[in-house]
């Protein structure tokens, strides 16, 4: 691999792509739509760190432990009535935790006290799942050798006609949707077009009689895709408070997502020969890739849920949801991260295999 050649191809494509109307639309559309929806939902609240209310009259070690966590804002309340109000009526908190008065002593004596966790069902499913995981992890952390306390989960149904937190959920949902759409448009539409246009206009033959190898041409296209993904996703995150939440994880997730989508695009570009094929197939492929993003926050029937989980974008959207709502932990994010990484390696492997076959 020759870095000079790869950069020459990438530089050419980065400058040339913005002169191509098709590519330009592919790059700008998701950012434009995100801006439009931001204007439409301008009154909506931030994707800030979620609040968890806690009632702990004795001041336990568990509360101190929760307070130290950066993923949540802990709101201490003085009574059960206030706790319920936070979860039910005002609707600010994702959940509320009621801690018995003698928690620390009971754990020490091994009597397994009961902690009650109220889940605000108005909040999105990802946040609630993350809260469940977080509370379980923290309870086990009190005594990793044996289950220190039992957890009683109590779903708090939303009051009739309430829409207190709907705006928040939609904004996060749309941010994730448009982020994934931006990565998909760049990866699964722009990248294959860059490759197939070279074949269609016979400029690929010029590149291949120059010192460039097929692998270097593909690497140049991959860099172009990553640069445009970074610009698209970066703009979208900047415009939508993407730094809120766990930004290092968000950054890593976007990078993984961009790499995955670029790999998909390279695979398409290696298989397809004409612009017509890309235009026809990329819409179908993009629909399939984007489908899980639409459903991450909804309860789906089991069969649909299984199908959606077969598509790696499900895990990308889930990880983005978790990181943007600052609910990501090792246990909640590990599966998403692992599946994404494995899919990425698999598709890049396929691309390399196809390239080697073409070179021989």
Mode of pairing for the β-strands spanning 114-120 and 93-98? antiparallel
Give the burial class of 165: count Cβ atoms within 10 A of its Cβ; 0-12 exposed, 13-18 middle, 19 or more buried. buried
Residue 228 CB, nearest distance to other proteins (Å)? 16
- Which residue number, 16 or 46, has a Cβ lying nearer to other proteins? 16
Residue 26 CB, nearest distance to other proteins (Å)? 16
Q: Which residues bind other proteins (CB under 8 A)?
A: 4-5, 8-9, 11-12, 15-16, 19-20, 201-203, 205-213
The beta-strand segments (E) located in 145-188 are 150-156
Residue 312 CB, nearest distance to other proteins (Å)? 34
Dist. CA 344–CA 324, nearest whole Å: 22
Taking CA atoms, 9 is separated from 5, 20, 79, 210, 275, in Å, by: 6, 16, 65, 12, 20
Residue 29 CB, nearest distance to other proteins (Å)? 20
- Which residue number, 70 or 202, has a Cβ lying nearer to other proteins? 202
- Which residue number, 17 or 103, has a Cβ lying nearer to other proteins? 17
- Which residue number, 12 or 309, has a Cβ lying nearer to other proteins? 12
Give the full edge-to-edge strand order of the sheet including 114-120. Answer: 73-77, 51-55, 93-98, 114-120, 150-156
- Which residue number, 204 or 291, has a Cβ lying nearer to other proteins? 204
Residue 205 CB, nearest distance to other proteins (Å)? 6
- Of 324, 177, 183, the C-alpha closest to 248 is 324
Dist. CA 234–CA 247, nearest whole Å: 12
Residue 172 CB, nearest distance to other proteins (Å)? 39
- Which residue number, 143 or 203, has a Cβ lying nearer to other proteins? 203
Dist. CA 125–CA 130, nearest whole Å: 8
Residue 354 CB, nearest distance to other proteins (Å)? 17
- Which residue number, 15 or 61, has a Cβ lying nearer to other proteins? 15
| Residue 96: strand pairing partners | 53, 118
CB atoms within 10 A of CB 216: 22
């Amino acid at each position: 691999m020759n870095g000079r050649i790869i950069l020459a191809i990438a530089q050419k494509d980065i400058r040339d792509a913005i002169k191509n109307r098709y590519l330009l639309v592919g790059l700008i559309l998701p950012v434009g739509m995100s801006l439009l929806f931001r204007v439409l939902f301008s009154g909506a609240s931030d994707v800030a760190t979620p609040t968890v209310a806690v009632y702990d009259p004795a001041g336990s070690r568990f509360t101190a432990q929760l307070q130290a966590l950066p993923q949540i804002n802990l709101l201490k309340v003085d009574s059960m009535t206030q706790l319920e109000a936070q979860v039910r009526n005002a609707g600010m908190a994702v959940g509320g935790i009621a801690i018995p008065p003698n928690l620390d002593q009971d754990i020490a004596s091994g009597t397994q006290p009961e902690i009650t966790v109220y889940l605000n069902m108005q909040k999105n499913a990802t946040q609630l799942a993350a809260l469940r995981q977080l509370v379980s992890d923290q309870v086990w952390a009190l005594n990793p050798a044996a289950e220190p306390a039992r957890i009683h989960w109590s779903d708090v149904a939303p009051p009739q006609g309430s829409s207190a937190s709907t705006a928040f959920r939609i904004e996060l949902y749309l941010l994730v949707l448009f982020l994934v759409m931006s990565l998909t448009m760049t990866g699964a539409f722009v990248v294959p077009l860059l490759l197939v246009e070279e074949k269609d206009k016979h400029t690929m033959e010029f590149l291949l009689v120059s010192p460039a190898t097929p692998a270097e041409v593909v690497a140049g296209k991959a860099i172009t895709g990553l640069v445009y993904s970074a610009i698209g996703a970066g703009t979208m995150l900047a415009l939508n408070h993407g730094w809120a939440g766990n930004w290092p994880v968000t950054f890593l997730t976007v990078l993984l997502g961009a790499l995955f989508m670029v790999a998909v695009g390279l695979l398409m570009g290696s298989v397809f020969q004409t612009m017509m094929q890309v235009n026809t197939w990329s819409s179908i492929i993009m629909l399939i890739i984007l489908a899980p993003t639409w459903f991450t926050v909804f309860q789906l029937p089991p069969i649909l849920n299984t199908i959606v989980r077969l598509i790696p974008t499900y895990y990308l959207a889930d990880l983005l949801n978790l990181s943007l709502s600052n609910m990501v932990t090792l246990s909640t994010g590990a599966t998403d991260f692992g599946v994404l990484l494995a899919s990425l390696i698999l598709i890049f492997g396929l691309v390399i295999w196809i390239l080697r076959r073409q070179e021989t």
